[in-house]
Amino acid sequence: MWIGKVFYWDPATGRKFDQGVIKASASDKSAPGVTFKKNLPSPQDWILIFEAIKP
């Protein structure tokens, strides 16, 4: 099982915009897809980061 938090990061300012937590398992083939919010405050480039959380 992989658990991680997901957020957009602005490399110009260092701001983060939280997208929630994802739980995934290689054996779970019925897991629903993930939809990310696209309501960022500016049209510049962003980096989408998946950061693992230790159980």
Read off the pLDDT of residues 8-21 as tens digits, 9 standing for 90 and up.
899 989 989 888 88
Q: Give residue 14's pLDDT.
A: 92
In this structure, is residue 35 part of a structural domain?
Answer: no
In this structure, is residue 5 part of a structural domain?
Answer: yes
In this structure, is residue 54 part of a structural domain?
Answer: yes
Q: What's the total number of domains in the chain?
A: 1
Q: Give residue 38's pLDDT.
A: 67
Contact 40, 3 (CB under 8 A): no
Domain range spanning residue 18? 1-28+43-55
Nearest by Cα to 35 from 19, 15, 17: 19
Q: Per-residue pLDDT tens, the chain, 55 aa: give them.
A: 788 898 889 998 998 988 888 887 777 766 666 666 666 667 788 898 999 987 6
For 32-45, give the DSSP string: PP-------SSSS-
Q: Give residue 34's pLDDT.
A: 67
Nearest by Cα to 17 from 40, 35, 42: 40
Q: Give residue 49's pLDDT.
A: 92
How far is it, in rounded angstroms, from Cα 48 to Cα 7? 6
In this structure, is residue 37 part of a structural domain?
Answer: no
